[in-house]
Structure 1
Amino acid sequence: MADPTLEIIPLADLVGGYGGIVLDVFGVIHDGMSVFPEAYATLGLLRKEGIRICLLSNSPRRSDEVAKRLEAMGIGRELYHGLITSGELVYEALTESPEFPAGSTYFHLGPVELAELLSALPMNASMSIGAADFILTTGWPEEDAMTSKLLHACIARKLPMICANPDFEVLIGARKVICAGALARDYEMLGGRVISYGKPYRTAYSKALEVLCLTGEQVLAIGDSVATDIVGGRRAGLDTALVLTGVHKNCLTRDGKMDRIMLRDLFRQHSVAPDFILSSLG
């Protein structure tokens, strides 16, 4: 991996070279509570410049639900061309093959508020692991003390796991929240089979390029996570930009300077580096 030039570049200096942007949502447009002040203006400017925008989120919710949440924050649908979520990708996969991966009865692992992802499909949610054909994972369970026991019970039955959010963690305001990706990682370490949808997997980016009607060399992928946004963008053959307003915001000092040592360690950890670094979506 080449050692990148660690300099913050204004987004306005980059976008002229691209016809479209694959844009992360959580940690880039908002912090889970409110929109970043510069995000609204930047999205409007990009649209005015004729740059196509596809929002690509590892949210374990349907795309329309996320769009409505963005509208409530002031980010209307007129500011982007399309929105894809990992939850929508799961829903589409199971719509096309309702018996995938091994049956139509599932056990949900995750917060109760995320349990309705598959409710419109002809599938059965079971309260018992013993009756389930597979596990649907949307996030870290609220009953944390039972998590290890539940995973071992699923391993004993050799249940495949569908992960609807490959992120390991997000920040809601200043609070760190563990995501479904961390649960999927633990399940794989126990020997379980995991099928994940969203970033950093190629299918998510292929869908985004279809929305943009552009080829990879015409598109810049922007996100706040090296593990998903930068790794995924590079796998898909896109140029990438890391924004330091999300999970890696500790790499940006209070006076707006980068901690170059922390960033280099981060890039080496994932064996990948972004093409550009942004202090914010501004």
Structure 2
Amino acid sequence: MTRIIEHFSEISANYDAVFCDLWGCLHNGKRPFDAAVKALEAFRDGGGIVLLLTNSPRPKVSVETQLDGIGVARDLYQEVATSGDSARSALASGSFGTNVFHIGPERDAPFFASDDIPDLAKINRVPLDQADSIVCTGLFDDQTETPDDYAAIFLEAKNRGLDLLCANPDIQVDLGDKRIFCAGALAKDYTERGGASHYFGKPHAPIYDLARNRLTQAAGRVIDDKNILCIGDGILTDIMGAQNEDLDSLFISGGLAAAETETNLQPNAQKLDDFLQLHNATPTATIGHLR
């Protein structure tokens, strides 16, 4: 059974760096969680390195701007690694062709910016019938749509043999008090319909390779995996990704799994154990909310 802790400080001294998730851990899409900010500030002030590891489909600079807008200070963290940057590198390699059909809101347009990855200038966004592949950063309207709204698009895409690049493997996130679908939900649906989906964020290896590289740059040295802690509320992304990479993890049960684990301040121990067993998950420790 996972160890349930009251405060991050109970285990933080064991680590030199954290890979911390954003949505559900540090903020809810509208405002930062004060207790989480204080916990990370204390870790930073003690010499720890905070790297924000997110399945956001946006480039690092766009995520930093978004965090500025909701009140997360830049001095809280030393680096950011995004699913978007990992996926952008794959797209720039030419593996998905040069003409792509983009599924996602226009606010995700920075995904295609070539300022930091020049080869992205070769990528053209085109109608579906002209596309070599699909790039999915999210739903066109995540406030009203569900994966079912994409049945006709996916049928045509599958019949044409188009691969789908998923820039955000998350299935859902909580925006304030509302749970919305993410790109991962569409990629999952496309695969279930017989299409081929490719992922570059948590829990898949490419984003951890990117995170380690950026951590090394921030620290000025290589930090051993045993001294890195992954913090997150996604059992199938944050926690499974950590397990796949043989990294320690701190599960935030009061995020996406709040109902299943009956988390208010802290989880119900038996419900938590049942939930973890259901998903074959073994986080190093669990806490209701990062604090």
TM over 0.5: yes
Q: Tell me if structure 2 keeps the 8 A contact 1:9–1:276.
A: no
Give structure 2 stretches of 5+ with no counterpart: 115-119, 217-222
Q: Tell me if structure 2 keeps the 8 A contact 1:159–1:192.
A: yes
Shift of 1:117: 1.6
Partner Cα separation in structure 1 for residue 21 and residue 263 of structure 2: 22
Runs of 4+ in 1 over 3 A off after TM superposition: 143-146
Shift of 1:6: 5.3
Report what 1:124 is aligned to. 124
1:20 to 17, 21, 25: 17
- Which one-letter code corresponds to 2:124 in the other structure? N
2:103 to 89, 109, 116: 109
- Which one-letter code corresponds to 1:204 in the other structure? I
Q: Tell me if structure 2 keeps the 8 A contact 1:209–1:215.
A: no
Shift of 1:261: 4.0
Aligned 1:76-87 pairs, distance under 5 A: 76-87=73-84
Q: Tell me if structure 1 keeps the 8 A contact 2:52–2:80.
A: yes
- Is 1:55 matched with 2:49? no
Provide, for residues 205-262 of structure 1, a one-character-per-residue CA deviation record: whole Å limited to 9, x for no partner.
22222222312111111001111000001111111110134211222444x2423343
Q: TM-score, normalised by structure 2?
A: 0.88
Between stretches 157-166 and 106-115, larger displacement belongs to 106-115
Shift of 1:5: 3.6
Q: Tell me if structure 1 keeps the 8 A contact 2:58–2:111.
A: yes
Tell me, what secondary structure is at the counterpart of 1:50?
coil
Q: Tell me if structure 1 keeps the 8 A contact 2:86–2:210.
A: no
Report what 2:205 is aligned to. 202
- Which one-letter code corresponds to 1:84 in the other structure? A
Tell me, what secondary structure is at the counterpart of 1:44?
helix
Tell me, what secondary structure is at the counterpart of 2:51?
strand
Partner Cα separation in structure 1 for residue 124 and residue 263 of structure 2: 49
Partner Cα separation in structure 2 for residue 253 and residue 218 of structure 1: 28
Aligned 1:59-98 pairs, distance under 5 A: 59-95=56-92, 97=93
Cα distance change on mapping 1:257 and 1:77 into 2, 3 Å: closer
Shift of 1:114: 2.2
Percent sequence identity is: 31
Partner Cα separation in structure 1 for residue 104 and residue 270 of structure 2: 35
Q: TM-score, normalised by structure 1?
A: 0.91
Number of aligned positions between the proteins:
274
Instruction: Supply the RMSD in Å over aligned alpha carbons.
Output: 1.7
- Is 1:246 matched with 2:255? yes
